[in-house]
Amino acid sequence: QYHPYRSQWGPMHWGHAVSKDLLHWEYLPAAIAPDMPYDHAGCFSGSAIELEDGRQLLMYTGVSRVENEDGEMIDCQTQCLAVGDGINYVKYEKNPVLTEADLPEGASKIDFRDPKLWKDEEGIYWAVIGSRPADGSGQILLFRSEDAFSWRYFSTLDENQNRFGKMWECPDFFPLNDKYVLLVSPQDMLPEGLEYHNGNGNVCLIGTFDKEKGKFLEEHDQAVDYGIDFYAQQTVVTEDGRRVMIGWMQNWDTCAIRSPEEAWAGQMSLPREIWIQNHRLYQRPIREYEACLGKKVEHRAVIIGQDRDEIQLDGIGGRTVDLQIQISSVDKGNPYYKFTIYFAKKDGMYTSLSFRPYEGIVKIDRKFSGSRRAIVHQRRMFVPGCADGSIKLRLVLDRYSSELFVGDGSQTMTTAIYTDMSAQEISFACDGEAKMDIVKQDILL
């Protein structure tokens, strides 16, 4: 979703960029614009697939304003198609291809959006689309097509039943490591321990798929990302078979963090390879990213906390850096109380990342990052198996973002920051005594 004329909300277009490695991007003109009666209020989220003849097929949510039975103007969401050659796209003459008439009984025409396409091994096209039933909860509808242009409702793939928020946005559904994964972005969530937080979140459901009935059978659930800003995640399969995920590094509840005078709005996460291990979704930066890292600066067995002051290390600083950090207690029988990393630091501004072994809690805190907005600035997550103070972290800083990978990728924490780029310092502190190994590399993108 892209508004090309201002850095603030406006009629949604489809932004368009191309890349050979998912890291170096070339911007192209907008692919589609809201210029038809069925999408005059916006061309919203969707997905694309390659047809047998090599053309690209886009399915997107077209939003229009219509009058209801009470004479009120309301949004109506339908699914539309466009076909193109990778540069230019033409909207399908029979749009919209899915409307209120195609929905199961009780499903809302106002909340019917975000189609994700795929083609199975038998040549059948499928789409999962977010929907809202009569109870106000969320559900994911499954649609089928033999030719990618004529679509019909097949089943209700999964139902929220008010477990994870309300409406489920931006679904993605795919096989992974002998299981099936359903990714959704719920609105209006209530917290559940430290796994799920208030507001707009992200959920990964792992299970099996009964293809004959079109039903997803859940076995495990978890947060996709535990940070403040990660939403509407989508995946793609690379030519060598890797499943790669990118998320919108923002949140509906935190859009106001940036000044409206800024020349840009929003950013996307680092592309991440994902896989299932021990019934969990694991993530790591795509392997192509490693070739974009510069010379290593290393410090080994640094003792942090002896004098309780913050310390800085030679060569460790910057805002486009990759930090790989191994922390352990000097006395494993008496672990340190809290270890803290301060980054994007200058003149009283900073963002902090801390770990408390006795609680197993990792916390990100950006309240001193320079924002003047009264929005969410902290998030915590529980990391099991680290009570002795030993933890491995990978922190990727890219100008106005921080992405944390814990351990071998079992948990991630993504947060946008808007501190002035002159804030380049990184420092470390410990309440107690910790030993740290650190490797820093500049990101050369």
- Backbone φ, ψ for residue 375 (5° rounding): -130, 180
347 - beta bridge partners?
none
User: Quick count: other Cβ atoms within 10 Å of Cβ 292?
Assistant: 16
For the stretch 128-174, pLDDT in tens is 999 999 999 999 999 999 999 999 999 999 999 999 999 999 999 99
Residues in the chain: 445
- Name the residue among 327, 219, 238, 325 with its Cα closest to residue 281: 219
For the stretch 363-416, pLDDT in tens is 999 999 988 887 889 999 999 999 999 999 999 999 999 999 999 999 999 999
Confidence tier at 264 by pLDDT (50, 70, 90)? confident
Q: Which residue has the tokens 């005594």?
A: 433
**Could you give the domains of the chain?**
14-223 (2.115.10.20), 295-443 (2.60.120.560)
For the stretch 96-133, pLDDT in tens is 999 999 999 999 999 999 999 999 999 999 999 999 99
- Name the residue among 186, 197, 266, 192 with its Cα closest to residue 227: 197
Residues 171, 61 contacting (CB under 8 angstroms): no
For the stretch 280-318, pLDDT in tens is 999 999 999 999 999 999 999 999 998 778 999 999 999
